[in-house]
Amino acid sequence: MPFRHRLLLLSAELAAGTAMAVATVVDLAPYRLPGHLAFTCVGGVSASAVWLTSYVLNTVVTTTHRCTAPDCTYTIRVRGTTSAESRRWQEIAADHPGHHLSR
């Protein structure tokens, strides 16, 4: 994946984490929590927001190819590939070496 795309993904993750941190600080302000408790709450919420944003964005930009055998769980995940390269990975997933051993 090009550096520019990775930078955009990172920016979105950090923006989501910062937005959730600010919202949590605003929500907790009336309760006048001690600093260490407020920091723990804000850190947990913002870390979760960063992780969730990262997971969702990576799911959107990633293509998953699976083995076509009914009981096989072999998968390949690729991103930033051309259609020809993605097709090649799809063929590899359908005919991987471990697949032949289980027959």
pLDDT at 30: 97
**Predicted confidence (pLDDT) per residue in 5-36, tens digit:** 889 999 999 999 999 999 999 999 999 999 99
**Predicted confidence (pLDDT) per residue in 35-85, tens digit:** 999 999 999 999 999 999 999 999 998 999 999 888 888 999 998 889 999
pLDDT at 96: 86
The whole-angstrom separation of Cα 4 and Cα 1 is 8
Q: What is the pTM of this model?
A: 0.74
pLDDT at 99: 66
